[in-house]
Amino acid sequence: MKLAHSVAPPAAARHAADAVRTLAFLADLSQAFAVSLDLRKTLPEAITRVADFMQAEGASLFLLEPATRVLECRICVGPVDMTGVRLSIGQGVVGLAVAENATQIVTDAATDPRVWRAGDEASGFVTKSLLCAPLGTAAGPIGVIELVNRRDGHSFDAEDAEMLRLIAAPTSLAINNARMANELVEQQRMKREFDLARKLQKSLLPKRRRGVFPVLGVNLPAHEISGDFYDYFELPDGRIGFVVGDISGKGLDAALLMIRAASLLRWAGKDGIAPGAWLARANDELCETTHDGRFVCALVGYSDRDGNALQFAGAGFPPALVYRRGAFSEYASGGPPLGIMAGIAFEQHEVELNGGSLYAFSDGATDVRDADGKRLGNDGVRELIKRHATMAPDARLRALLSDLKHLKLVDDTTLLLIEKPRAHDAQVLLEHHMPARAEYLRDMRNALRKLLDQLGIEPALRDRLVLAVDEACTNIIRHAYGGQGAGGIGLRVSRADDVLSFELTDDAPCIDPDRMRPKPLGECRAGGLGVALIDTVMDTWHVEPASARCGNRLVLRKRIEDKGF
Amino acid sequence: MRGVAIDKTGVHMSGIASETIDGYVLIRLSGEVDLSWSQQVRHAVLAALESHPAVGVELSEVSYIDSSGIAALVEGFQNARARGSRFALVAVSDAVRAVLELARLDRVFLIISDPASLGEA
């Protein structure tokens, strides 16, 4: 093209040869870009090739920084190093190429007003001719490629401009691809960090205690990682320490503070010091090291082994609720959140639950929104607690969470429940009490059906189990109580491994178990069908005296397929 | 919930209605048939058999039935057989059919799928 030929070939043949050479060069350039997404490696090589192919003395690449809208020279080959030179859009030939999104040719740099001459003055290099082509994607300009001085001493012409425009296309594409790849790598790196933080957080939550234990907690993060935490641990004197906390703010730094605060609060409570002093100790420690305006709301305390005598203190945490026989008591925090001001004392509460339950919940629970965007609030939470009060602790927390999930969760939500543990190894799923009267059977069936649905029991089996338990209640009403309409029936559903137990207790006179014999099914007779149905549906059943004096306990058992619930 | 007085025929959409189709007295049951009102079902069935030679019990709207409800139907069946009357279960819902099968009584009763075909039974 620009090579000096001693004997000029005919024009048509020369053009054809140029076209082949051009195509080969563009292919090579694209290939070079495809080899690696590392622009630091591919771009300098590519710009050197462009300078050689175009027979230019120098070539440089300016990239537009999206945030500042400044063009910076990132790569430069040739006699003068322009790397680091920054131009605004519209400034110099380079800036104009972006501003007008058009190739710029300067044939006489000495007189052309578009030329930015500071570079020459500093280096002593004489710019004679310039050629600039904008680089861009569908989303807008990304930079400029610039050539300086043709090696043959001529100025750049329209043919050169067209060639550089062709070269600009694969260059833009390569830069754009590499940028997107980098963003992806960055996203993956952040995701890995979040995953790590989440794993670390989960590892801090206490393991569920098997058997008899008075403290139970659940945590429902609103986003990937949580700013909430809870913890419980056993002291040498038999008491159980508990912690529930909430970090202000969201995101990775809140998550990291949560990890620190959780460790700190656990450490501060290990000695068994009074809850107020426990909070004060953690507060002083946090104040020394937390200066970014973040703070920690927390409630800490101890429960005796029986889940009855409690001692606790709160720091900016929502009031703890004690629900006892249909009524609520509220216990407000005795000080501000932790990490704000050192040297503060925290008031503490001492409470005997006497059959009641203590609920501590982070403000995520009260911040839950209904369909109209209204906050659930303290009253709403009370309503939910009341609604599920008769359920066994595990099932109750699950039901509370499930209700909150159906509303709109805007913040992490954590619930801690403390109450007298039930002296039963099996996991109690439902406790339902009813007067021994037929019109209350329906409510019992509904409660049982709901539980079995929650457990994921398939409908046909669910209906048979409901029928069998209903038959058992019917039997108690008619035969144990003699249809008098007095007395009550207690139903407790529990689960040990894959066996569901349905335990029905009454305080009727002891019945003769021999009277409860199943009649053969298929016989067309009106009596004795109920026991036969129980016998068919359940794996095992038996009746025993509830106590030495009176009352009966009827236990029905059914093995179910474990669906991992 | 606990304190609500349960109207055996109203509040929970449980109930008994009857009409005459093609010579049958058709007793329509709906809702959950349990101990709380199965005696009423029993009385209704026996009373219908007292005055009519053909009685059907329509069960398409019954979502639950316990053994006392089944017993009322069994008693109707036996009563009809003793009198030489006709007795049929009509449009049996899945819930009722499941209990009939469980009690192995699904082949004991005359079961008619559609009230419109009562006349042929």
Q: Does B106 touch chain A (CB under 8 A)?
A: no
Mean per-residue pLDDT over chain A, rounded? 84
Listed residue (A132, A85, A83) closest to A107, CA to CA: A132
Kindly identify which residue of chain B lies nearest to residue A440, measuring between CA atoms: B2
Architecture of domain A11-175: 2-Layer Sandwich (3.30)
Architecture of domain A427-559: 2-Layer Sandwich (3.30)
CB-nearest to A441 from B35, B78, B95 is B35
Give CA–CA dist A34/A550, Å, rounded. 87
CB of A91 within 8 A of CB of A117? no
- Show Cβ contacts of residue B67 under 8 Å, excluding neighbours closer than 6 positions: A471, A474, A529, A530, A533, B103
Residue A267 has φ and ψ, to the nearest 5°, of -60, -45
CB-nearest to B35 from A443, A474, A521 is A474
Q: How deeply is A124 buried, as exposed, middle or buried, from its count of CB atoms within 10 A (0-12, 13-18, 19+)?
A: exposed
- Show Cβ contacts of residue B101 under 8 Å, excluding neighbours closer than 6 positions: none
Buried b (16+ CB within 10 A) or exposed e, B11-39: ebebbbebeeeeebbbbbbbbbbbbbbbe
Q: How deeply is A324 buried, as exposed, middle or buried, from its count of CB atoms within 10 A (0-12, 13-18, 19+)?
A: middle
Kindly identify which residue of chain A lies nearest to residue B14, measuring between CA atoms: A442
Listed residue (A325, A317, A315, A420) closest to A365, CA to CA: A317
ipTM: 0.84
Give CA–CA dist B88/B73, Å, rounded. 9
Q: Which residue is listed with tokens 């501000």?
A: A336
Q: Does B110 touch chain A (CB under 8 A)?
A: no
In the predicted model, is pLDDT for residue A436 greater than 50? yes
Kindly identify which residue of chain B lies nearest to residue A468, measuring between CA atoms: B66
Alpha helices in B1-121 (DSSP H): 38-51, 67-83, 94-102
Q: Which residues in chain B are contacts of A431 at CB distance < 8 A?
A: none
Could you read off the pLDDT of A285-328 as tens digits, one per residue? 988 887 677 889 999 999 998 899 999 999 999 999 999 888 99
In the predicted model, is pLDDT for residue A8 greater than 60? no
Q: Determine the residue type at B32.
A: E
In the predicted model, is pLDDT for residue A473 greater than 90? yes
- Kindly determine whether residue A442 and residue B66, on different chains, have CB atoms separated by under 8 Å: no
- Kindly determine whether residue A537 and residue B102, on different chains, have CB atoms separated by under 8 Å: yes
Kindly identify which residue of chain A lies nearest to residue B67, measuring between CA atoms: A530
Radius of gyration of chain B (CA): 14
Buried b (16+ CB within 10 A) or exposed e, B88-114: bbbbbbebbebbbebbebbebbebbee
CB-nearest to B35 from A463, A464, A477 is A477
Angle at A245 between CA A296 and CA A397, to 5 degrees: 155
CB of B20 within 8 A of CB of B26? yes
* Count of pairs with CB atoms under 8 A, one residue in A, one in B: 79
How many H helices and E strands in chain B? Answer: 3, 5
- Kindly determine whether residue B68 and residue A440, on different chains, have CB atoms separated by under 8 Å: no
Segment A118-128 mean pLDDT: 74
pTM of the complete model:
0.45
Q: Does B97 touch chain A (CB under 8 A)?
A: no
Segment A483-500 mean pLDDT: 85
Classify domain A205-419 at the CATH topology level: Phosphatase 2c; domain 1 (3.60.40)
Nearest Cα of chain A lies from the Cα of B14 at a distance, in angstroms, of: 11
Element spanning A203, H or E: helix A158-204
Q: Which residues in chain B are contacts of A537 at CB distance < 8 A?
A: 102
Architecture of domain B15-115: 2-Layer Sandwich (3.30)
Could you read off the pLDDT of A65-95 as tens digits, one per residue? 888 899 999 999 988 888 888 999 989 999 9
Lowest mean pLDDT among A344-353, A514-523, B100-109: A514-523
Parse chain A into domains and list their residue ranges: 11-175, 205-419, 427-559
Give CA–CA dist A396/A357, Å, rounded. 12
- Kindly determine whether residue A533 and residue B64, on different chains, have CB atoms separated by under 8 Å: no
Lowest mean pLDDT among A165-174, A203-212, A270-279, B68-77: A203-212
CB-nearest to B98 from A460, A474, A527 is A460
Nearest Cα of chain B lies from the Cα of A426 at a distance, in angstroms, of: 27
In the predicted model, is pLDDT for residue A535 greater than 80? yes
Q: Which two tokens stand for residue B79?
A: 């009563």
Give CA–CA dist B69/B36, Å, rounded. 10
Q: Which two tokens stand for residue B88?
A: 């049929």
- Kindly determine whether residue A530 and residue B66, on different chains, have CB atoms separated by under 8 Å: yes
Q: Which residues in chain A are contacts of B98 at CB distance < 8 A?
A: 460, 463-464
What is residue A438's DSSP assignment?
A: G
Q: Which residue is listed with tokens 């939470």?
A: A381
CB-nearest to A474 from B5, B68, B72 is B68
Strand partners, A215: A418
CB of A504 within 8 A of CB of A490? yes
In the predicted model, is pLDDT for residue A240 greater than 90? yes
Q: Does B75 touch chain A (CB under 8 A)?
A: yes
Alpha helices in A327-417 (DSSP H): 363-366, 377-387, 393-406
Q: Which residue is listed with tokens 């970090």?
A: A247
Could you read off the pLDDT of A187-231 as tens digits, one per residue? 788 778 777 877 777 777 887 776 678 888 888 777 666 778 899
Nearest Cα of chain B lies from the Cα of A471 at a distance, in angstroms, of: 7
* A44 SS3 class: helix
Give CA–CA dist A314/A334, Å, rounded. 5
Distances (CA, A) of A55 to A42, A48, A49, A241: 20, 10, 10, 79
Q: Is the dihedral of CA A120, A124, A126, A132 positive or negative?
A: negative
Q: Does B68 touch chain A (CB under 8 A)?
A: yes
Give CA–CA dist A80/A254, Å, rounded. 49
Nearest Cα of chain A lies from the Cα of B48 at a distance, in angstroms, of: 18
Length, in residues, of chain A: 565
CB-nearest to B105 from A474, A522, A537 is A522
